[in-house]
């Protein structure tokens, strides 16, 4: 039954084939089309409540990237995502309310990784995201839809934490007083990027908003980064969010839910490697204020993620999926430990950025 359902969906893209589940994404369902270079995806409309806006963002951004890649003598079918249009020229189909499907061309001979394996690999991830940003530096970011409103509005996240503390829905606040006190003691500085944007010192840019390692495809033969994928959260924002979040995830020495906090710290070598790759690609467009705020942005994104985990723990684990009762608390603690370690290393981080920028 389901197979015939999917076949009817594919026919609207002028594709006749069967498929297998593909990848390990947590948001959308992905299927590989057998014997043909296509991926079918079902968009998660619980998270992306306006899929038409998501798809319009992706279409506009990838068309811009294709022009840039072609002008540079590259291969746009390999270096950016390619949407396959329906027989009616649309970017997606919705056979019934809430069930939205799209098709991408499959990028052959490419692979992604889930964990940082070396400083060189992390440097190459930074090059990929930096190049992505650079190619979109002249795209009018204000024309993009905000597919997840207030996504990186840290003061708003702080308000959500305060509400979670006050409501104490799961009766857990008394047991996490140390974590709450740590978070609330740092509230005042957490609007620094928003203030800089309001003052015009940090420009509004196209941001990816999910700069994890596994959203970069590497060529299997050369191991060079070739394409940034997963563009559902492409929105207007600050490049500091993308840079900081990549380091939050990639420069941590431990898993996000590590229970032993002695294993959790911020790796300065990985910070240096990522920063070098990112600044090299962005050197023509990055502003003085953006450079100044790079180290702080790693702390900001880590803090924001930590208080989101903490708020969800206080609310009874209603947003993030958990596999055991204390998982959101463990996640919050690793992020807050990273924040503390970054604070201890902030002078070194700032010096590393100055040295890279001076070259």
Using one digit for the tens of pLDDT, what is the confidence trace for 65-81? 999 999 999 999 999 99
| 232-66-291 Cα angle (round to 5) | 70
| pLDDT of 32 | 87
| 274-146-165 Cα angle (round to 5) | 80
Higher-confidence position of 359 and 187: 187
pLDDT single digits (tens) 266-314: 999 999 999 999 999 999 999 999 999 999 999 999 999 999 999 999 9
Structure tokens at 223: 């191991």
For 198-223, b where at least 16 C-beta lie within 10 A, e where not — what string? Answer: eeeebbebbbbbbbbbbbbbbeeeee
CB 17 within 8 A of CB 34: yes
The structure's pTM equals: 0.93
**What is the domain partition of the chain in residue ranges?**
2-108, 119-358
Q: How far from each other are the two terminal CA atoms of the chain, in whole angstroms?
A: 61
pLDDT higher than 50, residue 220? yes
| pLDDT of 4 | 78
H or E segment and range at residue 19: strand 19-21
Distance CA 291, CA 353 (A): 7
Average pLDDT of the chain? 94
pLDDT single digits (tens) 93-147: 999 998 999 999 999 999 999 989 999 999 999 999 999 999 999 999 999 999 9
pLDDT higher than 50, residue 153? yes
pLDDT single digits (tens) 169-184: 999 999 999 999 999 9
Structure tokens at 102: 């799209």
Structure tokens at 111: 């692979």
| pLDDT of 20 | 57
Distance CA 316, CA 231 (A): 30
- Please identify, in words, the CATH class of the domain defined by 2-108: alpha beta
H or E segment and range at residue 93: strand 93-96
pLDDT higher than 80, residue 187? yes
pLDDT higher than 90, residue 25? no
Determine which of 34-43, 58-67, 223-232, 346-355 has the lowest per-residue pLDDT on average.
34-43
pLDDT higher than 60, residue 198? yes
pLDDT higher than 80, residue 26? no
| pLDDT of 246 | 97
pLDDT single digits (tens) 335-354: 999 999 999 999 999 999 99
Based on C-alpha coordinates, what's the Rg of the chain? Answer: 21
CB 196 within 8 A of CB 202: yes
Strand runs labelled E in 112-211: 205-207
Rounded to an integer, the average pLDDT of 54-68 is 98
Q: Does domain 119-358 fall into CATH 2.40.50.100?
A: no
Among residues 184, 174, 26, 190, the alpha carbon closest in space to that of 114 is found at: 26
pLDDT band per the 50, 70, 90 thresholds, residue 28: low
């Amino acid at each position: 039954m389901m197979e015939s359902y999917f076949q009817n969906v594919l026919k609207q893209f002028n594709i006749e084939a069967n498929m297998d589940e593909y990848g390990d994404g947590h948001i959308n369902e992905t299927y590989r089309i057998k014997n043909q270079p296509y991926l079918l995806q079902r968009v998660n409309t619980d998270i992306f409540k306006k899929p038409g806006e998501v798809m319009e963002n992706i279409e506009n951004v990838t068309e811009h990237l294709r022009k840039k890649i072609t002008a540079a003598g590259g291969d746009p079918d390999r270096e950016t995502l390619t949407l396959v249009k329906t027989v009616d020229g649309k970017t997606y189909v919705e056979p019934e309310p809430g069930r939205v499907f799209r098709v991408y061309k499959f990028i052959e001979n490419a692979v992604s990784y889930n964990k940082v394996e070396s400083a060189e690999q992390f440097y190459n991830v930074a090059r990929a995201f930096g190049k992505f940003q650079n190619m979109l530096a002249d795209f009018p970011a204000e024309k993009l839809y905000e597919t997840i409103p207030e996504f990186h509005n840290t003061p708003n996240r702080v308000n959500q934490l305060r509400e979670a503390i006050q409501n104490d829905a799961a009766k857990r606040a008394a047991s996490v007083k140390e974590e709450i006190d740590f978070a609330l003691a740092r509230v005042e500085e957490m609007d620094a990027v928003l203030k800089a944007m309001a003052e015009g010192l940090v420009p509004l840019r196209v941001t990816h908003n999910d700069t994890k390692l596994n959203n970069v495809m590497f060529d299997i033969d050369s191991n060079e980064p070739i394409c940034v994928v997963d563009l559902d959260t492409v929105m207007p924002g600050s490049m500091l969010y993308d840079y900081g979040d990549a380091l939050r995830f990639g420069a941590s020495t431990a898993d996000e839910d590590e229970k032993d906090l002695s294993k959790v710290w911020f790796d300065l070598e990985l910070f240096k490697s990522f920063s070098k790759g990112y600044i090299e690609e962005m050197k023509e467009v990055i502003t003085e204020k953006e450079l100044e705020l790079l180290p702080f942005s790693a702390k900001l994104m880590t803090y924001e993620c930590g208080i989101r985990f903490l708020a969800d723990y206080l609310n009874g684990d209603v947003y993030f999926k958990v596999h055991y009762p204390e998982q959101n608390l463990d996640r919050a603690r690793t992020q807050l430990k990273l924040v503390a370690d970054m604070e201890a290393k902030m002078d070194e981080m700032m010096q590393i950025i100055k040295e890279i920028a001076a070259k």
